Structure 1
Amino acid sequence: MEDEIDLQLKQLALEAQQHPAGSQERQIALTKLIDQIYRHNRLTRPHIGDDSLLHLYEDIYSEARLKIVEHICQNIDIYDSKKPVMAWVNHFFNFRFQDVRDRYTNQIRPRMNQTRIKILSIDNLEGFNLEQEEWELYQDKASMSQIVEDAEMLRKLIEDDPDNIFRNTTVRGRPDITWQVIALARLDDEKWENISQRFDKNISTLQSFFDRNLRKFSDYIRNKLQ
């Protein structure tokens, strides 16, 4: 059963339909209709369906509200007065919300995937030195936000180097080439060829130095990140 607000909204929608598109009278009726929808908080709150976007919910919701206003103004003539206005509005609002959410997902997920790739680009430290099967299980269970958080923790540990073990581990005769420098370069997805050219050192020497010490540090890294 429609309440008083529903009846007011229907009256405004029908009033807008009675005036030609683009007319001042229609615009006034539409403005009043939208104002009443907002004032009485009649828009639904759709489930976002992706925990990695929870912190962006209000941004997505606000943009979807703007899009539903546009939809109402452009499509008021197809509103069927046999149905409550908000049943019609919320039906399409859910679609607009999903459209905005999907756009945010498409913008953010590649960056998250890139972050995950950068975790894996520290050779043999896949998923913090997990075996491949364990990494796949981790990848299935972990949310994208958790993967990003893990990547940030790993980078912070290597940068801060609280026990000075990463910066004090150097290539023999080259104190400027530290394990810390190489690890951060690999986290930034820098190719071995570029690292080799930067330090004027052959790739096999750098890779051997990095891998050997990575195995030595793996337990330390896992313990620090637990």
Structure 2
Amino acid sequence: MSKQIQHLVIKSKQDTIENQQRYQVLAELVEHILRTRKVCRPRPGHPLSGIYLEIYQTVQEQLNHQLEEDIDSPYLQMTSEKEWASWRDSLFKKVLDESRLQQLALEAQRHQPHSPERFYALTELLNAIKLSGKLCYRGKFSPEVYDDAVNRTLYYVYQNLNHYNQAKGKFIAWVNYRLDKMLQKAQQDLNDPFIQAQSGKIVRIKYQLNALIKSTKLDSVIFWITLSIKGLIIDKTQISNVTKIMMVLLLLSQLIAKDRTKGDSLVFEMAKASLPFSSNFSELTGESMTIETVAQPETELTLYDQLRYYFKADPEKLLQKHIKNHPSATLQVIGLAYLDGKKWQEISDSLGIKISSLNNFFQRNIRKLSPEIKRYIEEELG
């Protein structure tokens, strides 16, 4: 994605390009940025419609508007896919307000359980909840407990969406009420030696299954079947059982190679099912194959990524202040150089400014802006 985007960015900045051509290039740029979006993705064989189309078009319009306004801004100097994705997701985050989340929930309720339409709508809903930033904050709970509680909550929503009653309140309030309960439960489970012991058993069994899967090769399966056909293995029950096991292991290895997340989830479920009380344990932990496949946690940006994005995008236009008589020595330029690992001497040489002047200017202004930068990162990128 990144190379194509950079090509379009360069093309849009060409002085010779006509306005109409620029609009077309920007429209194509927006299309590329949205191509890897996490929500409002069309169901195979069906165009976007209803609330999904409305959300998509709103974000599309905002992207177009911002790109037209900031054609020469640092937005268009982003180089990594993560930075472009973070900018796109921040717009989705603003658009996915309580009203739209409620509409997504009601749309999912409208479909019959276990239908393809219901599965699609629930997938969109859960991804939208995660992206919206509307879940209650972690507070005193550890990241481990919070992530566990969020997964349990999303699974609860997936299983019990029809329990939500619009007449009794807002959808996101209903979700956060459940999340609060799940946080308490997850904290209790973290300290429960019985549950921790069983979790350890599942992890060990999963590890053993993975080892078996990795060691199962197509050649081995063919060799076993050949021996069976030639009658070199007498026990027919053994032939049947071993063949089935080898075929399952081979299919699992192919699934893991194609989609690691789904493969690992399935192996986890197999490991969990091997325990004699697996159904009860599922209720205790809230783990499930469904939530693993429907609501995968996204890799979050590190603090470095967030800071670098902020300095590149300068979303609140606070970083354009510069050293007196040196208009190119802005907070943004100095900050990006510093974040890129350049030493003060290198920055000094490139800008032709004394190290002491650079350092004093940067430190003095960053101290003033720190609260604003922190607030933006927590609210928009956190």
TM-score by length of 1: 0.41
Q: Which of the two has higher C-alpha Rg? A: 1
Higher relative contact order, structure no. (Cα contacts within 8 Å, ≥ 6 residues apart): 1
